[in-house]
Amino acid sequence: MALTPIDVELLRNGLSSICDEMFLAIMKSAYSTNIKERHDHSAAIFDAKGRVVVQGESLPLHLASMLGLVEVVLERYGVEKMRPGDMFVSNDPFVGRGSHLPDVAILAPVFRDGKVVLFVSNIAHHSDVGGMAPGSMAGGMTEIYQEGVRIPPIRIVQEGVINDEVFQLILLNVRVPHERRGDYLSQVAGNRLGTRRLHELFRRWSASDLEAGCEEIIRSVARRMRAGIRDIPDGVYRFTDYLDDDGMGTTDIPIKVEIRVRGDEVWLDFAGTGPQVRGNMNNSFAGLQAAVLFALKVLIDPEGPTNHGMLDPVHIKAPLGSVVNAVFPAATAARAQTCQRIIDAILGALAKALPDRVIAASNGANGVATLSGTGPDGRYYLYMETIGGGAGARSYKDGTDGVQVHVTNTSNLPIEALENEYPLLIERYELIEDSGGAGRFRGGMGLRRVYRALGHTVTFSGQGERCVHQPYGLFGGAPGRTGRLAIVHDDGKVDRLANKPASLEVPPDAVVLIETPGAGGYGKPATRAPDKRAEDAAGGKFSAKFMRKHYGTAKPARGKPRRLPSGSGR
């Protein structure tokens, strides 16, 4: 008997729950704050052909680092050389078809009756994978060799036993190896859990039903994507946005897209996008795929599942050797910055076609702060985080303040967690006044975070974007405020930093200041509702000068509204 739609949905939910449990297991057993607190990891299940069947609700960008992994492993090893208990590891954007070196994926084949039927996989962003700068994410890196240890798809676990020689080779090339070791072991444990749960699921599903069900799960997503694309008016849509710079002298890097919609298929052509750059803003094709799929999904099927079926009606073309489709040996550590701009360009292009679904430009940055050094207790530490900013205003609602946007989806690390583990003090953590673009609905606000090393000199590296090009507003909405990075000395001297500083020594009598971008507004400010203006004026988020400039008044329009808390967001 053929599987019913209810059967397929039950199977999909069963597989998704396994992904979610893998995600939680990794989070609860990892050593680094980046994984256990910021949740910079994901899990997925593949079929025997290497297609994603389900991905956990975590980081959309991680789909990029897993899409081609199974295919590469199958090409290199073939199922005939795999055994129960085996696992394979990879992080390389070129050989392993990932997106950048800090995202390390571990994959395990799952056997049934002596045959590989599925794969479980997870990926985690490691706070350091070696290379020329602590954190492996600093500006100034010009080739992938400088960014860290490159791991091709290789067997890391053989029939349940970790290959210690390979493991030690990896750990020898990273900073804070005991922390990295704990994170890797949490990933191994996550795959083992996923394998056990799949064997429990096998008791309820025959081999033929499981295979047919996975096939239908992928097909159903393809059908949903096609149905969503049919809702976009046929036509050609174009937009160009810009990256600030690559940290190595190249500025105003264009991200250009032409989108052609016809029936239930869509073509995206990135011709005219800037060539790959010396700095590490380059993106692999896998990263481009992930950004495109995310942007389309949120516009046409935001509630649908994520899997390989999304690719079926989507055709992507990008110049080889461009910043969105770079070739070896390009540096790719900051590829998330470029992915954010790809999404901004796609949303900008489709604003005319789907005005009620798009949002104005969000903070458009994946602001990175890496701090390392030897604390007063004599121990070396390394801390890396990404920081949220404003989310773009919508056609019906204000943008959210101080959040990670689009493909990143991690949390802002709580101050308490940071200060508990590192000899660092957060002196300020707040929303930035006037940073959200005005509009009928205003853009979200950026964040200000101020770090001080306690009793020692700290090495700081950063990654900033939208420090020059403001996040755009839509349909008359004002742009959001740009971000900035600086060193502020206790005597009041302020050293404005380049957008992508690398390995700066900051003494304990100075602080690192990071301000992330706000976001664009939606609709003309003159059409903002009076009660919303009153909230803006009374809530402390916008100054009297800002209110007069954009709305013509600095006072509540009516009544006496309650004072709103600013909050820090997540």
Q: Which pLDDT band holds residue 403 (cuts at 50, 70, 90)?
A: very high
**Per-residue model confidence as pLDDT tens digits over 508-530:** 999 999 999 999 999 999 999 99
Determine the angle formed by the axes of helices 285-300 and 335-349, rounding to 10 degrees.
Answer: 40
pLDDT the model gives residue 64? 60
**Per-residue model confidence as pLDDT tens digits over 42-71:** 999 999 999 999 988 777 777 666 777 888
Quick one: which of 233, 364, 242 has its CA closest to 299?
233
State mean pLDDT over 215-231: 96
In the sheet that 367-374 helps form, which strands lie side by side, from edge to edge? 380-387, 367-374, 458-463, 504-506
pLDDT at 115 over 70: yes
Map tokens 């673009």 to a residue: 437
**Does residue 329 have a cis bond before it (omega within 30 degrees)?**
yes
Q: Which pLDDT band holds residue 428 (cuts at 50, 70, 90)?
A: very high
Distances, alpha carbon 206 to alpha carbons 210, 220, 330, in Å: 6, 21, 46
Taking all residues of the chain, what is their mean pLDDT, rounded to a whole number? 92
**Per-residue model confidence as pLDDT tens digits over 154-179:** 999 999 999 999 999 999 999 999 99
Q: Pull the structure tokens for residue 261.
A: 């919609």
pLDDT the model gives residue 65? 65
Q: Higher confidence at residue 371 or residue 140?
A: 371
**Which amino acid makes up residue 346?**
I
The answer to whether residues 89 and 151 touch, using CB atoms and an 8 Å cutoff, is yes
DSSP, res 470: P
Q: How far apart are CA 181 and CA 172, in angstroms?
A: 10
Q: Which pLDDT band holds residue 559 (cuts at 50, 70, 90)?
A: very low
- What percent of the chain has a predicted confidence (pLDDT) above 90? 86
pLDDT at 85 over 50: yes
Whole-structure pTM value: 0.93
pLDDT the model gives residue 67? 72
Q: Quickly count: other Cβ atoms within 10 Å of residue 324's Cβ.
A: 29
At residue 493, what are phi and psi to the nearest 5 degrees?
A: -70, 135
pLDDT the model gives residue 1? 63
pLDDT the model gives residue 411? 82
pLDDT the model gives residue 570? 28
pLDDT the model gives residue 554? 59
pLDDT the model gives residue 520? 98
pLDDT the model gives residue 561? 38
- What percent of the chain has a predicted confidence (pLDDT) above 70? 96
DSSP, res 522: B
Q: Which pLDDT band holds residue 555 (cuts at 50, 70, 90)?
A: low
Q: Higher confidence at residue 62 or residue 500?
A: 500
pLDDT at 472 over 50: yes
H helices of 370-515, in order, are 415-421
Complete DSSP assignment for 477-501: PPPPPP-EEEEEETTS-EEEPPSS-
Residue 54 neighbours by CB under 8 Å, 6+ apart: 12, 15, 16, 19, 44, 45, 217, 305, 306, 307
pLDDT at 143 over 90: yes
pLDDT at 139 over 90: no
Q: How far apart are CA 428 and CA 450, in angstroms?
A: 5
pLDDT the model gives residue 523? 97
pLDDT at 433 over 60: yes
pLDDT at 558 over 50: no
